[in-house]
Every structure is written in C-alpha cells, then in structure tokens.
Amino acid sequence: MTGTTMDGEDVVQDVLARALVAYEEGMEFGNLQAWLFRVAHNASVDFARGRHRRDHSELSAVEELAAPGPEPAILALSFRTFQQLPELPRASVILKDVLGHSIEEIAEIVGTGPMAVKAALQRGRAALRLLAADQAEGMLLPSMSAPDRDRMETFVTMFRNGDFDGIRRMLAADVQLDLVARLKLKGREEIGSYFTRYAELTHWRFVLGAVDGRPVMLVFDARSDRFEPSHYVRITWRRNEISTIRDSLFAGYSLDGADWLLLEDESRLGL
C-alpha cells in the first residue's frame, strides 16, 4: 500500500504501537485481525496521501476488463507498480489476491460495501495486467548530491575494509539504531557494540546500492549461490555525522518485491 518496504515497515510499527496502547487502555477489539488490518489500511492511505514523490502517479482511467482471478505475473509485480493504482483498487487486490481475504472481509477493512470492492478488484486486476505487460518499466534511480554520494561511498568502503572504529567516530552523539524486527538503540555508546558482530563475521560483502530509489548499503552473503542481496543498511546524515542506522538484517523479507540495483561495480563484492 505504501509503495516501498521501508515505508511499509514504518506504518506497521506505528499500527502495532497503537494496538498496544489500545490494549493497555482496555479496548475491546472483537475481531482483532480485522481491527489491525483496518487501522493499517487507514494508516497506509494517510501516509500515501501525505507523500508527494515524483515517481508515483495514479492511473486516471483503467479499462474495465473481466478479471476472474489473480495471475502469477500480477503477483510478481514490485511494490512500486502496485503504488500506481488508486487506493481502493490497490487495497482490494492486495487484500484479496495477496493476503487471501474474502470480499466481505475487505469491505469491513476498507469501510465500503462488497459491490464497491468487487468493482475495485476488477479494475485493479485489469490495470495490473496492463502494467505486467509493459516491459518498459525502469528502475527508480536515487537522487544524490555529490557530497551525499561521497559520504555513502566512504561509509560502505569503511564497512568493506572493517574500519569500524572509523565509523564509530562518524556517529552523532544521539545516533539511533533500528535493527528492524529485533531492537532499537540510541546513543553513540550503546550503538558502538552493534558493529562488533559484523566485525566477527566474514561472509558478508558490502556494496553501495539502492532499494526502491533510496541509497543504501546492500549486503550480500558470500555463502549463497544466488546473486541477490541478503539485506540492506540505510543511513541518514546530519551534516557529516550519522544520525540514524536502519539495518534489515533480521527482516530479509523487506526485499521481497523491492527494486534494488548496484551503484558500484559488482567486482567490489568479491563473490
């Protein structure tokens, strides 16, 4: 619904936090799953409406075609492709064809009637079929200034060379670490130990890349016979200091369906 795994993770964490607060306040959920999906849907819609990214545009018109069911080509499309659908068709296709909900369940989640869901599902499937047939869809390239690229290249090179002391000196005093789906730490002293584990393991290979149009450090596993990243590390900067580190080491699923590409020669990987 959000178009990228990174933004989707943010929305999911926000929804789970709301659920915990509601539970502690004694809220009666009834159908907990339906409540969570409804809150997640609304949060995703609010997020998408508030974002103005140049690469996302809604389809103004969709040819109405008979669509008896999902197709493999549709289910293999990237998150960014789904983002091109209007909200209701996008939610209907994802909830029905990807997650397996019934028409009635979808209607409850999105707050509309079953007939509206059926119509939206038909429009969404038809649009995605057309998008699946379009072989001209290109990768979304990150927009980076020369200083931003220099900082990222320096960070990746230090990781590749095992210069973790040098990276520690780049950390802001209030730096935050989000080890997605595992833990969060704050402060230079707490986060300093995070690099120790990477220093101990020798099978990781690091290269500058991009995921869904955002610059990241892609991490490959030298033990794998498949040329695809295991996970990625995203860095944000405050001037020349690292302010946040978002590491998907324990959330490899976040690359499923995402667009990724190398921004360095693959020979740097040494695979």
Domains of the chain (ranges; CATH) run 5-133 (1.20.140), 146-269 (3.10.450.50)
| Residue from 233, 228, 237 nearest 260 by CA | 228
- The token duo for 122 is 């038909």
CA quadruple 157, 158, 159, 162: dihedral sign = positive
So what's the pLDDT on residue 135?
Answer: 43
Q: What counts of helices (H) and strands (E) characterise the chain? A: 11, 7
Question: What is residue 106's three-state secondary structure?
Answer: helix
| Rounded CA separation 119/269 (Å) | 48
5-24 and 32-50 are packed helices; what angle lies between their axes, rounded to 10 degrees?
Answer: 130
So what's the pLDDT on residue 161?
Answer: 93
| Rounded CA separation 1/106 (Å) | 14
| Rounded CA separation 8/26 (Å) | 27
5: Cβ contacts below 8 Å, ≥ 6 apart: 79, 211, 212, 254, 255, 256, 257, 258
CB 212 within 8 A of CB 227: no
- What pTM was computed for the model? 0.60
Beta strand segments in the chain, E: 171-179, 183-186, 204-211, 214-221, 231-238, 241-247, 260-262
Classify residue 69 by its DSSP letter. S
| Rounded CA separation 236/148 (Å) | 10
| Residue from 168, 187, 165, 167 nearest 176 by CA | 187
So what's the pLDDT on residue 66?
Answer: 35
So what's the pLDDT on residue 78?
Answer: 62
CB 133 within 8 A of CB 147: no
| Rounded CA separation 212/139 (Å) | 8
So what's the pLDDT on residue 214?
Answer: 87
| DSSP bridge pairs for 204 | 221
> pLDDT 10s digit of each residue in the chain, 271 long?
777 777 888 888 888 888 898 888 888 888 888 888 888 888 888 887 776 443 443 333 333 333 444 544 455 566 667 777 888 988 998 888 878 889 999 999 888 899 999 989 888 888 887 776 664 445 556 777 888 889 999 999 999 999 999 999 999 999 999 998 888 999 998 998 889 888 888 899 999 999 888 899 999 999 988 889 999 999 999 988 999 999 999 988 888 777 888 888 777 777 6
Phi and psi angles of residue 145, each rounded to the nearest 5 degrees, phi first: -75, 165
Phi and psi angles of residue 231, each rounded to the nearest 5 degrees, phi first: -165, -175
- The token duo for 30 is 């009834």
